Amino acid sequence: MAENLGPTVLITGFTLTGFSTFILALRFYCRYFRIGSLKAYDFLMLAALLVTWGITVINHFQVKNGSGRHTRDLPTEPSVVMPLLEGTLKSWYVYQIVYLVDLAVIKFSILAFYAAISSYLPYRVGVYLTMAVVAAFTVAMVFVNAFECSNPSDAWSPEFLFQETSSCRNLHPIYFAQAGFNILTDIIIILLPMPILNKLNLKRSKKFGLLGVFSVGLIAVGASGARVHALFVWSNSSDVPFDSALILTWSQIELNAAIISASIPSLKPLFSCSCSSSDTTSTASTTLGFTRRTTFSFLRRVRSSHSARSAMTVGSYAPSANSCKEIPAPMLANPPPPPPPPPPAAALPPLERRTRHARLFAQGSEEQRIAQTFEAFQPFRGPWIDLEGGKWAKPPPTLSRFSGSSNGR
C-alpha cells in the first residue's frame, strides 16, 4: 500500500486537465477555423473546463492539508492539527459544491449539442426533459450541500466536528444518491442520440464508427462507478485522510473523461480529407423528388483542358503551309492564331446530345430538365454555340435557351 496518495492526486489532476485543455483547444480550432462558427455548447464546455481547473486547484489545497496521507503520519500537536483540519474541511466544502456544478455544465453542453443535430420532435423533447431534470437535481443538491449545517460555518469548524451532538447532517447517503444520479444521467445521455444515428443512411462501417465515437462517454461512466466504490471505502474507513484521496482521483478522471469524450466528435475535420473550394464546389438540392448534386469542378477541368490543348498547339508545334511536318513554334515568325476555345457550356446542345448533368434528372418534362441544366451552367454561359459538325458560332440574340433555335421569344 502506498504511503502517500497526495502526489497521485496532483499528477492525475494536472495531467488530465492539461490534456483536456489541449483537446478543447483543438475543438475550438476545428469549430472556428475549419467550420467557421462557435456555438453555445462550445462555450459551455469551455466554462466546464475552467471549473475543472478550479477543482484541480482545490484538490491541491486538500493534498497540502493532509489528504492522501495516513492518519498515523499526520502531526498530533493540536496547534498543527487544527489548522490542517480546518483547511481540509473548507476545501472539501467548496469541492462538493463545485463538483456538482461542473458535472451539470458538462451535461448541459452535451445536451445542447444533441439538440442542435436533429429537429425530430420526440428526440428534442427527450433532450430538453433531460436538461430540466439535471438542472433541478443540481440546484437541489447544491442547496443540500451548502446548508448541511444549520449554521453553514459549522461545516468547516473543527470544534463542531468533535462534538457528540451536531447541527450538521450526515451527507454520506446524499453522496451515494448524487453518484447514482450521475451514472443514470450519463447512460441516458449516451443512449439519447443512438436512435437518430442508427437511422442515418450510411455504410455499416461508418455507422458503427459514429456510434463508437458517441459511446466514448462510457469511460466517464466507468470512472463514476469507480468513484462510487471509493465513496463506499471512504464512508467506512478508519483512515479518512488516506482514503479520501481516491475520491479526488476518480473525480478528476470522471470530469476530464467527460470533457474529452464530448469534444471528440468535433475533431472530425482534423482527420477528414479537406478539399479546397477551387477543386470542388458542390451544391445539393432536391429537384423532382431526387437529390441533385451539381459539381462545377468538372466544368472548370473541361475549360482548362481546352485552354491547355490550345496552348500546346501554339507552343509545341504548328502545321506549315508547305509541309505536314511538325515544326516547333519558335521557328515560325507569325504562328497562326488558335481557334477560339469553345466554352463547355456556352449554350445548350441539341437534346439528343445533352450533357451528362442533364441525364441525372430522370423525371419531369424535357423542358424542365433542360432548364435545370441551363441553371446549373449559368455561371459559365458564353458567346459561342455548338453547331452541327463540330462548328462553333455566335448565337443570334433571340436564341431560345430551351429549344436551341430562334423562335422570337
Over residues 101-110, the pLDDT tens digits come to 999 999 999 9
User: Of the segments 49-53, 272-276, 313-317, 363-367, which one has the largest average pLDDT value?
Assistant: 49-53
pLDDT above 80 for 384? no
Environment class of 142 (CB within 10 Å of its CB; exposed 0-12, middle 13-18, buried 19+): middle
What's 4's DSSP letter?
A: B
Q: Classify residue 303 as exposed, middle or buried by CB count within 10 Å of its CB (0-12, 13-18, 19+).
A: middle
97-111, 193-207, 303-317, 318-332, range with greatest mean pLDDT: 97-111
CA 201 to chain centre: 20
The one-character DSSP state at 150 is: S
More confident of the two residues 326 and 266: 266
CB-neighbour burial class of residue 60 (10 A; exposed 0-12, middle 13-18, buried 19+): middle
- Specify the DSSP element, H or E, that contains 101: helix 78-117
Nearest of 269, 300, 296, 292 to residue 282 by alpha carbon: 296
Query: Which has more confidence, 197 or 160?
Result: 197
pLDDT of residue 356: 43
Cβ atoms < 10 Å from Cβ of 326: 10
* Cα distance between residue 209 and residue 61, in whole Å: 41
- Report the pLDDT averaged over residues 323-347: 54
pLDDT per residue as tens digits for the range 7-23: 999 999 999 999 999 99
Query: Averaged over 367-380, what is the pLDDT?
Result: 43
Distance, CA of 246 to chain centre: 32
* b/e per residue 332-359 (b: at least 16 CB within 10 A): eeebeeeeebbbbbbbbbeeeebbebbe
Q: What domains are there in the chain, each with its CATH number?
A: 6-271 (1.20.1070), 282-393 (no CATH)
Q: Which amino acid is at 139?
A: V
In the numeric block, the cell 468535433 is attached to: 266
**How many CA atoms lie less than 13 Å away from 47 in the CB half-sphere?**
16
DSSP string covering 153-175: GGGG-HHHHT-SS-SB---HHHH
By percentage, how much of the chain surpasses pLDDT 90? Answer: 37
